[in-house]
Amino acid sequence: MNARCPKAVFSLGLCAAILGAMAAAACADTKEQIVERMAKRLAAVKQYKAEGKIGETFDGLVDAVRAQYLDDATLRKLVADENTDRKAFYILGAEKYGVTPEVFALSAGRRNFREARPEDWLRPKDGKWVQKKDLKE
């Protein structure tokens, strides 16, 4: 093997990494795209919340109140898509305000708990689902 080969392999690897990073940045969603997708799902999220099938978690995500509700493929996809967009939104918000995505998500979780209706299901840090009307703060 010639001595130039390792340098060529390194150079190709570096180029691939740079191109990958550029592609990821080009594919990153804008805040507007994320908000638009979330707005399209909002009615379904509200419906499942009203049915008591999904609720808000302390860390700013949504989840099924009971594991068997995830047997419903539509609900399972809704939860996954909503959480994917929330996480992306939290990353953008964190960058804007100079905090970590986790801190931003926890702030969103507190807001979601405050704005929840009495019959909405919430999962605080202890991991136990409770309706807001029964939440001991």
For residue 120, pLDDT over 80 is answered with yes
Structure token digits, residue 99: 């905090």
Q: Strand 121-123 and strand 54-57: pairing?
A: parallel
CA separation (Å) from 80 to 16, 69, 70?
30, 13, 10
Q: What is the average per-residue pLDDT within 11-15?
A: 44
Q: What is the pLDDT of residue 27?
A: 53
The full set of domain ranges for the chain reads 29-134
Residue 101 has pLDDT above 90, yes or no: yes
With tokens 């939440």, the residue in question is 135
pTM of the shown model = 0.79
Q: Which two tokens stand for residue 5?
A: 């080969």
What pLDDT does residue 7 have? Answer: 53
> Strand order of the sheet with strand 62-64?
62-64, 54-57, 121-123, 130-131
State both tokens at 59.
Answer: 């860390």
Label residue 94 by pLDDT band (50, 70, 90): very high
Tell me the average pLDDT across 63-76.
98
Positive or negative: CA dihedral 74, 89, 57, 50: negative
